[in-house]
Homo-oligomer: A and B are copies of this chain.
Amino acid sequence: MQFTASQIALLVNGKVEGDPNAAVGSFGKIEEAAAGQLSFLANPKYEDFLYSTSASIVIVNESLELKQPVSAALVRVPDAYTAFATLLSKYQELKTQQLVGRQEPSYVSPSATIGQGVFIGAFAYIGENVTIADNAKIFPNAYIGNNASVGENSIIHPGVKIYHDCKIGRKVTIHAGTVIGSDGFGFAPQADGSFKKVPQIGNVVVEDGVEIGANATIDRATIGSTIIRSGAKLDNLIQVAHNVEVGNNTVIAAQAGVSGSTKIGSNVMIGGQAGIVGHITIADGSKINAQSGVSKSIKQPNTAVTGSPAFDYTSALRSQAVSRNLPELERRILELEHQLKQLMAERTTI
């Protein structure tokens, strides 16, 4: 796809300065962009690059005063960064919407229901009684198990595996390699030291507007549903165990893990590699620092915690600071003991 400077100006409500027919087909940073690329200048410290860039079109702030001539066509807008980001979003939506139809070979069960404007990539597998709603995009090598469903405008990237009976909402994005609906980790210890599997017959429900990163795992519930509420954003390599509930607009960074049956509130922020034990609740708006280990419920909304085991952020930081001086602290205690011993000795002398 090629866009001219005047087309771009139209899309972002801007004004062209220079050649209105200058055309671009991709994007680049202003310091690296080549001819045929669109760039933007928002931060004044990059202004020098504007005069040397090979980009064919650059989006700039209305207020910018040029100090030298510029070879690129300019598109002036009130806020260059926002205009650029808006353009990118539109461009990506457009590209995704253009993906329509079925590549072969793919496997679609005759009992599956496939909506309008759907894309099914090569080697994708659509099981029995599956519903793929309008404009959903199922990339190559993805697997959608029996009785599962994918909502409108959702994007299932290559190699995602969605087990039977799981429900994916609308405008959901799931990145490559992620597994939805694998069995929860439930085993009953037996008298001989072995373990007997507890059947996992629930499912996973992913609500509207959720985004899940690559190679994450979300286990199905033992009974009932593991639920990711609308608007939640989960990063790569995250583990969500059976019967967990993740609240609306909660954000979980990469490699964090949540153990079974824990309920996480809305607008919670969980840092990378943090771990949360099972069967607890995390209040709305909590902030859990990276690498924390949360072992107890957080009952007060908007609480910040850190450490493993995690406790209140401010006092944890103070403890950590002292912790680094522990050898010095020990030396001071030794000195006190020495002095005191001396005083005690003198006392008996008196």
| Chain A residues within CB distance 8 Å of chain B | 27-29, 32, 85, 88-89, 91-92, 103, 105, 107, 121-123, 125, 139-141, 143, 145, 157-159, 161, 163, 173, 175-177, 179, 182-183, 185, 187, 193-195, 197-199, 201, 209, 211, 213-217, 219, 223-224, 231, 233, 235-237, 239, 241, 248-249, 251, 253-255, 257, 259, 266-267, 272-273, 275, 277, 290-291, 293, 308-309, 311, 315-316, 318-320, 322-327, 329-330, 332-333, 336-337, 339-340, 343-344, 346-347
CB–CB B272/A257 < 8 A: yes
CB–CB B215/A179 < 8 A: yes
CB–CB B327/A322 < 8 A: yes
Task: Report the Cα distance A199→B213, complex, angstroms.
Answer: 14
Task: Report the Cα distance A121→B255, complex, angstroms.
Answer: 31
- One of B197, B236, B344 near A239 (C-beta < 8 A): B236
CB–CB B183/A179 < 8 A: no
- One of B179, B275, B337 near A175 (C-beta < 8 A): B179
With A157-B163, A179-B215 known, 14 other A-B pairs at CB within 8 A are A91-B199, A141-B159, A143-B159, A145-B158, A158-B161, A182-B213, A183-B213, A185-B235, A193-B266, A239-B255, A319-B323, A319-B324, A322-B327, A343-B343
Task: Report the Cα distance A280→B24, complex, angstroms.
Answer: 34
CB–CB A215/B213 < 8 A: no
Q: Known contacts being A194-B249, A254-B185, A343-B347, is A201 close to B92, with CB within 8 Å?
A: yes
- One of B88, B89, B323, B333 near A332 (C-beta < 8 A): B333
Task: Report the Cα distance A158→B158, complex, angstroms.
Answer: 13
CB–CB A176/B163 < 8 A: yes
Shortest CB-to-CB span from A43 to chain B, Å, is 12
CB–CB B121/A122 < 8 A: no
Q: Known contacts being A235-B185, A237-B239, is A308 close to B308, with CB within 8 Å?
A: yes
Shortest CB-to-CB span from A318 to chain B, Å, is 5
Task: Report the Cα distance A157→B28, complex, angstroms.
Answer: 31
CB–CB A177/B177 < 8 A: yes
CB–CB B322/A318 < 8 A: no
Task: Report the Cα distance A179→B216, complex, angstroms.
Answer: 11
CB–CB B327/A182 < 8 A: no
CB–CB B179/A177 < 8 A: yes
CB–CB A213/B217 < 8 A: yes
Task: Report the Cα distance A235→B266, complex, angstroms.
Answer: 27
Task: Report the Cα distance A277→B290, complex, angstroms.
Answer: 9
Q: Known contacts being A163-B176, A231-B195, is A236 close to B213, with CB within 8 Å?
A: no
